[in-house]
Structure 1
């Protein structure tokens, strides 16, 4: 298991100047290395006897450019530009590794055939972090001990350890990040012991979760969590600050101060949303052994007229946090296909078409009447149960006995579950 703890550091003015200069030099090196790769690609992407004199540059064909050739050029870079001697060598290598990863994501498709966007040249201030790949080991660039962080080429500075480092974890990397409200160090640590997922035979409680915009989420038990709309509550104040920024003189100190003020507003919105997601996720993981959610296409949903509300709710970030919290506790999170979860009846399976403005589900076939989000949550739970192979009581806990595997259902004594509401069993064929 790999965890990352983020702590605030308190460098002095001289150390802040050194770290800011390090970020600027790494930014310039990123742009040079990226330009070198683009030039080599443009000059060698087609056959030499078929180049277009209109769109292809003519000149000497460059040698192959990759991470290893650019890493080997670091020695020459330090000779031509002595300022790079003040940067830890491994930090420069990590900077090139980041560029190489972005480059490969652009040119090489993944397993699904999709590629990432083209890397970009970084403007001043866009590169905001650098990495020390080794911590608390021989020849390490970063050492953390007793609340003091010692960085090579920079010096020692106090760290606000708002929570202790977990015992048994080995510190792997230290990332220095410049944020709107100061400097932080992100310590990545690893432990070989990974919590095992709870066996299916020991699952005692399950819940289906349907996310939405009227309520942040609705469970299959009928419980709801109100949506905070953090950005909506702040957007008018943020708009006023941005209008004031537009009136500032470009390059002035007042403009820089106003930019930082706006960045702090965005940072506060992000932290409030993240805190809400963590608290909601911990509450679900604490009370249930299996959590069923929808596998939503957030990018597609964000292109609709409800994009601002969808991005404000940040369903994708919440599901990622929920999965991370669940892994640490051994709880299962099952993603299901979201197709027709709001249209299908959870009682009989009959499809009941309804628009988004209709908030009640009323099945004309079985007469079921309930909130449409709760109906969708029950459908999500039923699909997850079907995927993992469990037979569970419908929307009422597990009664006296825990759920059993689908294969063992025929040998299970149903009299143990007397008094509980059971769904119709799905008997395997053959």
Structure 2
């Protein structure tokens, strides 16, 4: 199972200078390799969609790709010796990023969805570099050894699980300092909780007024972290706009604005983790809706939806439930609610169907109470939806257990 841990690092002033210099050189190389791709594209594409039967076709130039651009890095270190100060693995990640950005523009991702035209990165916009291979012994106690940078102090707020290997290490510059992200390969096996009870399930309906309403009639009000911090953010943004470009005062104002935005994001993430834990401590399975959050983010409610962070919450909930357990925990104790399940169900009609009889009761979004005289049901619209989600989740769990029994 793949996992990632992030730690804050405390580099010395000399190490900070090396990290910043590395990021700036990588930014220049990224822009250079991206310009090569654009030159090839402009010189070889034809703006005319039809031509005579007999015409001259000019010879096509060799297309830049990951391999020939990576091979050019050897000549780069000869022409520009200061690039020798960067570890070769870090430098080889740049052509990979360029190829990924260019292919997403021309070919699209695995779902054939294309991204926009890649942009050149301005000063300070290249923020991460990666060591693609890393040995576990280079991270010991509260020190991490980064090649060409040195031994850097790490604030270890949680230990790395036993039995996991460090595959890659990424160094990231953020508004409030520097961080390392460790990509781990956990070799322990995913297992189901021994006393897992499929009937101990809850359905949750996420919203904007209440962050979620559960089928047990518990609800948590939406915290609205961005809305509460909006006044301070606007003040910090005005301070940036008043400063002159290119001056230190503007750079300081931009840094303060970034710190305030990061605080909002960190507060939201902390809320999501605590909310997910409270659900998984109480229930063995959680049923959620499959939401098209990307599509909803293009509506008038985009700001409130992004502030709620439904996607991040469901992702955290799923990961926490599926955390692998190891034999070092006695009597079935699991690391971070491991061995539980999160079931995603179809969201179509959960608000319109009656949770008592299953018949559709059409209502507008402004109608917050579900009334159905036929079966004498009157309850909150969101509670009705969460009961429908729970019923669909229970059905999905039963179908999964039956299919697993047949496969045996």
Deviations 1:387-425 (Å, cap 9, x if unpaired)? Answer: 33369xxxxxxxxxxxx85999xxxxxxxxxxxxxxxxx
CA RMSD of aligned residues (A): 2.6
Q: Which 4+ stretches in 1 moved above 6 angstroms?
A: 47-51
SS in 1 for 2:344: strand
Compute the TM-score of the two structures, normalised by the length of structure 2: 0.88
What's the CA shift for 1:294? 0.8
Q: Kindly tell me: are residues 50 and 42 of structure 1, through their superposed partners in 2, closer, same or farther at Cα, counting changes over 3 Å?
A: farther
Distance 1:47 1:61, change over 3 A: farther
Match of 2:330 in 1: none
Shift of the 198–148 alpha-carbon distance from structure 1 to 2, 3 Å rule, reads closer
SS of residue in 2 equivalent to 1:104: helix
2:287 corresponds to 1:278: no
CA spacing shift, 1:178–1:59, aligned 2, 3 Å:
farther
Q: Residue 134 of structure 1 corresponds to which residue in structure 2? A: 133
Q: How many angstroms does 1:200 deviate by?
A: 11
Match for 2:215 among 192, 214, 220?
220
The equivalent position to 1:387 in structure 2, one of 376, 387, 396, is 396
Residue 338 of structure 1 pairs with residue 347 of structure 2: yes
Looking at structure 2, the residues matched to 2 and 215 of structure 1 have their Cα atoms a distance apart, in angstroms, of: 33
* 1:203 Cα deviation from its structure 2 partner: 2.1
Tell me by how many angstroms 1:148 deviates: 1.4
Aligned to 1:26: 26
Deviations along 1:172-211, whole A, 9 cap, x unmatched? 1111111111111111111122313459984241111100
Query: In the alignment, which residue of structure 2 is the partner of 1:38?
Result: 38
SS at match of 2:361: coil
Say which is worse superposed, 302-311 or 370-379, in terms of deviation. Answer: 302-311
1:7-406 pair list within 5 angstroms: 7-46=7-46, 61-136=60-135, 143-197=138-192, 202-328=197-323, 329-389=338-398
Query: In structure 2, the residue corresponding to 1:389 is in which secondary structure?
Result: helix
Is residue 220–residue 374 contact of structure 1 (8 Å, CA) maintained in 2?
Answer: yes
Q: 2:183 and 2:350 mapped to 1: Cα distance?
A: 39
d(CA) in 1 for partners of 2:178, 2:5: 14
Q: Structure 1 residues 49, 232: CA separation in 2 closer, same or farther (over 3 Å shift)?
A: closer
Task: Judge conservation of contact 2:198–2:397 (CA < 8 Å) in 1.
Answer: no
CA–CA separation in structure 2 for the residues paired with 1:21 and 1:60: 40
Select the structure with the greater relative contact order (CA < 8 A; seq sep ≥ 6): 2
Larger Rg: 1
Q: How much has 1:48 moved relative to structure 2?
A: 11
Separation in 1, partners of 2:209, 2:222? 7
After alignment, is 82-91 or 107-116 more displaced?
A: 107-116
8 Å Cα contact 2:291-2:347 kept in structure 1:
yes
Q: Which residue of 2 aligns with 1:397?
A: none
Contact 1:350 1:363 in 2 (8 A): no
Q: Deviations over 1:344-400 (max 9, x none)?
A: 111111211222222111112211111110100011111222333369xxxxxxxxx
Q: CA deviation at 1:261?
A: 0.4
CA contact (8 A) 1:200 1:405 kept: no
Name 1:426's counterpart in structure 2.
none
User: Following the alignment from structure 1 to structure 2, what is the Cα–Cα distance between the partners of residues 113 and 277?
Assistant: 31
Asked whether the equivalents of residues 15 and 154 of structure 1 are also in contact (C-alpha less than 8 Å), the reply is yes
Work out the CA distance in 2 between the residues paired with 1:66 and 1:407: 45
**Aligned counterparts of 1:103 and 1:390: Cα–Cα separation in 2:** 42
Residues 163, 188 of structure 2: 8 Å contact kept: no
What residue ranges of structure 2 are gaps of 5+ in the alignment? 52-56, 324-337
* Deviation digits for residues 68-94 of structure 1 (CA, Å, limit 9, x no counterpart): 000000011111111111000010111
Deviations 1:257-277 (A, max 9, x none): 110000000000000000000
Q: Report the 3-state secondary structure (helix = DSSP H, G, I; strand = E; otherwise coil) of the residue aligned with 1:221.
A: coil
Give the C-alpha shift of residue 324 in structure 1. 0.9
- Partners of 1:246 and 1:9 lie apart in 2 by 31
SS in 2 for 1:216: strand
In structure 2, distance between residues paired with 1:339 and 1:128: 41
